[in-house]
Structure 1
Amino acid sequence: MTASLCVAAAVVLAGSGCSGVQSMLDPAGPAAEGIARTWWIMAGGAMVILTLVMVLLWRAMVRDPDAPPFRSGILMIALGGLAFPVAVLAALLVHGTATGWRVMAMDRPADHAIGVHARQWFWTFRYLGEDGEPLATTRDVLVMPQGRDVEFRITAGDVIHSFWVPRLGGKMDAIPGRTNLLRLRADQAVPIRGQCAEFCGRDHAHMAFEVVVVPPAEYEAWVAAGGGPLPDRHPDARRAQTDTRGDSTDD
Structure 2
Amino acid sequence: MLPLPVWAGVQSALHPGSEDAGRIVEISWVLFIGAALIFLLVLAMLFLALAGPPALRRLLGRRSVIIGAGIAFPVIVLSALLVYALNAASSMVRAGTQPVLRIEVIGEMWWWRLRYLDHDGRTMFETANDIRIPSGLPVEFVLKSDNVIHSFWVPNLAGKLDMVPGHVNRLRVQANEPGVFRGQCAEYCGAQHAKMMFDVQAMAPDAFQTWLASQRQPAREPADARLRSGKQTFMQACAQCHAIRGTQAAGTLGPDLTHVGSRLSLAAGVLPNNAGTLAGWIGASQRIKPGNHMPSFDQLSGEDLRAVAHYMESLQ
Whether the aligned pair in 2 keeps the contact of 1:127 and 1:223 (CA below 8 Å) is: no
In the TM superposition, residue 135 of structure 1 has moved relative to its aligned partner by 1.6
In the TM superposition, residue 60 of structure 1 has moved relative to its aligned partner by 2.1
In the TM superposition, residue 175 of structure 1 has moved relative to its aligned partner by 2.0
Structure 2 letter corresponding to 1:223: L
Structure 2 letter corresponding to 1:31: D
Aligned length: 224
Gaps of 5+ in 2: 218-242, 255-316
Task: Give the aligned partner of residue 179 of structure 2.
Answer: 190
TM-score (norm 2): 0.64
> Is 1:78 aligned to 2:61, yes or no?
no
Any idea what the Cα deviations from partners look like across 1:108-133, whole Å, max 9, x if unmatched? 22222111111001101111111111
- 5 Å matches for 1:1-251? 19-65=8-54, 69-70=58-59, 73-227=62-216, 244=244, 248-249=252-253
**Alpha-carbon distance in 1 for matches of 2:158, 2:121:** 24
In the TM superposition, residue 151 of structure 1 has moved relative to its aligned partner by 0.8
**Alpha-carbon distance in 1 for matches of 2:56, 2:73:** 28
Any idea what the Cα deviations from partners look like across 1:216-235, whole Å, max 9, x if unmatched? 1222333244447xxxxxxx
**Alpha-carbon distance in 1 for matches of 2:140, 2:90:** 15
Whether the aligned pair in 1 keeps the contact of 2:185 and 2:196 (CA below 8 Å) is: yes
Gaps of 5+ in 1: 1-14, 229-242
Greater relative contact order (Cα < 8 A, sep 6+): 1
Identity of aligned residues (%): 35
Please state which structure has a larger fraction of its residues in strand. Answer: 1
TM-score (norm 1): 0.79
**Alpha-carbon distance in 1 for matches of 2:136, 2:177:** 8
**Alpha-carbon distance in 1 for matches of 2:72, 2:56:** 28
In the TM superposition, residue 138 of structure 1 has moved relative to its aligned partner by 2.0
Which deviates the most, 161-170 or 50-59? Answer: 50-59
* 1:80–1:101 CA distance, 2 compared to 1 (3 A): same
**Alpha-carbon distance in 1 for matches of 2:41, 2:6:** 27
In the TM superposition, residue 25 of structure 1 has moved relative to its aligned partner by 1.0
Whether the aligned pair in 2 keeps the contact of 1:17 and 1:23 (CA below 8 Å) is: no
Any idea what the Cα deviations from partners look like across 1:186-210, whole Å, max 9, x if unmatched? 1132331001111111111100001
Whether the aligned pair in 2 keeps the contact of 1:31 and 1:104 (CA below 8 Å) is: no
Any idea what the Cα deviations from partners look like across 1:22-57, whole Å, max 9, x if unmatched? 111111111111111111001111111111112112
Aligned CA RMSD, in angstroms, stands at 2.7
In the TM superposition, residue 20 of structure 1 has moved relative to its aligned partner by 3.1
* 1:94–1:63 CA distance, 2 compared to 1 (3 A): closer
**Alpha-carbon distance in 1 for matches of 2:74, 2:214:** 57
Whether the aligned pair in 2 keeps the contact of 1:18 and 1:25 (CA below 8 Å) is: no
**SS of corresponding position for 2:125:** strand
* 1:18–1:52 CA distance, 2 compared to 1 (3 A): farther
* Rg comparison, structure with higher value: 2
